[in-house]
Amino acid sequence: HSSILTAVYPYVHGARRNWTTRLTGANLTLAETLREAGYETRATVASFVLDRRFGTAQGFDVYHDVSVERMHSERRGDEVRDDALDMLRSLAGEPFFLWVHFFDPHYPYDSPHDSPRRKENDPTIAYADEIAFMDTQIGHLLGEVDRLGLKRNTVVVVVADHGEGLGQHGETSHIFFLYETTQHTPLIFRAPGTIPAGRKLSAQVRTIDITPTILALLGLPAWNHAQGVSLVPLLRGERQDLGLAAYGETLEPNALFGLSPLRSLSAGEWKYILAPKPELYNLSADPGEMRNLITGEPGRAAEMRAQLRALIARAPAPFDAGDVSMELDAADVARLRSLGYTASGKPAASRGESELDRFEPEGGNPKDYHRYFRKRSELMGAILEEDLARANRLARQLIEALPEVPHLHVDMANVFLAQGRVDEAIEAIDRAVSLAPDNGRPLAESMPNLPLIQLNTARALREAGRLDEAAAAFQRAMAIGPGSFKAHREYGNFLLFGTRQYPEAVEQLEIAIQETPNDVDLLHDLGWAYTALKHFEKADRILGQALKIEPKNHRIVQAVGILRMQQNRLPEAADQFRRALQLKPGSPEARAALKHVLEKIKRSPEAIKR
């Protein structure tokens, strides 16, 4: 999606892996250019992968993502459609750019129809149902464009960001390989009066060409830095082929299994895949990429390898605006897993290396490991379905086959924790740490999922009443992931309510509040800690801030009551506890606190008088 919006390849814009990197503000997006040109810019997206924190919201006046419903990972197509229709109707009188993102046809496949077909072993059936469902929603949108009288002056672009493996080439979904099953996607343009209807083009084009084409159709200046080009000459029939070469990459084999990353180049009828065992296919004669011609066409393979290297060498400088890495909490990781993604691993790269320095493939050949990729997908599915016995079996099989891959031991720890086997989870974590590459980078950078697993271990130890071990586990989570605000927050909460070490709790919570200054639950804990330390002025300020954000939060109202009681302002404390009971009738904590403060008032003539 970032490549579509920026017209440059991932090694330039920097958002190279979902969930571990983001699109930085140094990039220029289509939405930013159109907004500057006077267009209203709005978007409604269906997947947490496009949450605004990942950078794709830049340039949009309105951006409806899934984060508005924090417990959800995606929105169904009909919900996105309704949102888009509301936006469309409100925009009908002015120039607008509307991005409508559907996610329905995506692994894990789940037919929207309540029929036995979704339970069959053939995933293509549910996948086809999902496509048909999405197609219906697109039909509603186009119908509304026509009904509003916008058809003649509205450019419509329909595109997919990737396809699905559906078991071909040993790939279940779309993250490990670069075959046409995932790389070849539909691209449709409609601009009545500008683009002749019904043309079907077989020439090579790229998703990075979409933004330059839109700018050209709108009569806006082209971007000098864009790697994509305008397709208008093709669309109008002025040219039959622009001679474009398309780049592809995946870093997942390296990030998750320590294998070589993959790159590809498609030009004309030929496709070259750069790997430890390179591959060459004639897509015209062999569209299924079943016959590797690398030994029979050495000259062509060498030529395409050189062309791939030259493409990277002449690319514009990367938009490096500081750290592009992302840190996700437990809820975020769970949401990504529900979408079929696994938030662990980060591709190895030494600091200061250029993309050309990383050009040569290093590590095992991914295609030789396809059965393990499939098994790990099954493992993630078993965890998602809470089939822990099966998950345990799959994790053990993977570790037995690939004992030196640290991420698999992290997976095993995750399964152990879900089964309540804390000590075995700790052993698995220790094994993962011992296997992590010693490249001078923090462990959290090599294995972003590790701090979360360590944090889950600390939680399990806390629940088991093993408080000293829990404290040590919280500290290890912070050491593995420096800057892990989630770890500081939970450790602070543990110190506050678990061991009542108030000064230490304040120290941890103050670190955490820097990242999320308006988090009401965190403000509650910090206010409570300052109340316990009798730092009443600070407690008043922090709890007051929380009340401004959520004035009807019964926990905050109750915490203010505790503060007033500690200040010996008993009638005010009673008022707060009564209000907390109104907000949450039957709350045993508020009722007990109110009873306690009323008894104190009875014994205090001064309080009665006030």
pTM: 0.76
Higher local confidence (pLDDT), 383 or 311: 311
Quick one: pLDDT at residue 321?
47
- Cα three-residue angle 388-393-397, rounded to 5 degrees: 145
Q: Is 167 left (phi over 0), alpha (psi -120 to 50) or beta?
A: left
Higher local confidence (pLDDT), 610 or 496: 496
Going edge to edge, which strands form the sheet with 245-250?
Answer: 245-250, 262-267, 270-274, 279-282
SS3 sequence, 372-439? Answer: HHHHHHHHHHHHHCCCHHHHHHHHHHHHHHCCCCHHHHHHHHHHHHHCCCHHHHHHHHHHHHHHCCCC
pLDDT band of residue 320 (cuts 50, 70, 90) is low
SS3 sequence, 60-97? Answer: CCEEECHHHCCCCCECCHHHHHHHHHHHHHHHCCCCEE
The span from the CA of 403 to the CA of 88, in Å, is 54
Most confident among 206-220, 402-416, 540-554, 563-577 (mean pLDDT): 206-220
What pLDDT, in 10s, does the model give residues 347-381? 444 445 788 888 999 999 999 999 998 898 888 87
Higher local confidence (pLDDT), 113 or 356: 356
In the chain, the largest separation of any two C-alpha atoms, in whole Å, equals 100
Quick one: pLDDT at residue 434?
83
Reference 98, options 54, 149, 48, 138; nearest CA is 138
Quick one: pLDDT at residue 341?
44
Reference 582, options 590, 573, 570, 592; nearest CA is 590
> What is the residue-wise DSSP string for 496-563?
IIIS--HHHHHHHHHHHHTT-TT-HHHHHHHHHHHHHTT-HHHHHHHHHHHHHH-TT-HHHHHHHHHH
In contact, 348 and 446? CB cutoff 8 Å? yes
In 10 A of CB 82, how many CB atoms?
Answer: 15
What pLDDT, in 10s, does the model give residues 15-72? 887 767 888 889 999 999 999 999 999 999 998 888 888 889 999 999 998 864 444 5
The span from the CA of 23 to the CA of 56, in Å, is 6
**What mean pLDDT comes out for the span 392-408?**
92
- β-partners of residue 273 are 264, 279
**What mean pLDDT comes out for the span 421-432?**
88
- The pairing of beta strand 279-282 with beta strand 270-274: antiparallel
The span from the CA of 294 to the CA of 312, in Å, is 22
248 sits in which H/E element: strand 245-250
Q: Is the pLDDT of residue 521 over 80?
A: yes
pLDDT band of residue 338 (cuts 50, 70, 90) is very low
Reference 499, options 529, 535, 543, 454; nearest CA is 529
